[in-house]
Structure 1
């Protein structure tokens, strides 16, 4: 399984694309739960953090020495180009 540093991924995504990335991430992991495109940014940010914790419980993300590693498969395909593998 390929892994990417979550914080490095967020830093690599252009700032104006970051909200779209977070919304796509939630749509990828929580389909049908909400209209993420219309959700308030604060709600999106909270759900992203909760989703990352869920991925850790599932073994699709892991915290090592302060670095959060996320499976590349957990990243929406449109944003995988920003992942450092």
Structure 2
């Protein structure tokens, strides 16, 4: 679990997630919200990360509620996921 604090993210442990599409296999899904799970996807290739993000936005069966509108350098995206 990772917690959002006033000094940024604080990590306790890493939680992985399963994606049926093999193209997501190089991405790490890390939980970083105490009350509502928030995940980020990290990949060294910024363009590839954005491409995967664009696909994830439309995967209803993974219950992605909305993007938090954050797409950082180094290909990190924050997503809010339903519990």
Q: Same fold (TM over 0.5)?
A: no
**Greater strand proportion:** 2
TM normalised by structure 1 equals: 0.29
Q: Which has the higher contact order (CA 8 A, sep 6+)?
A: 1
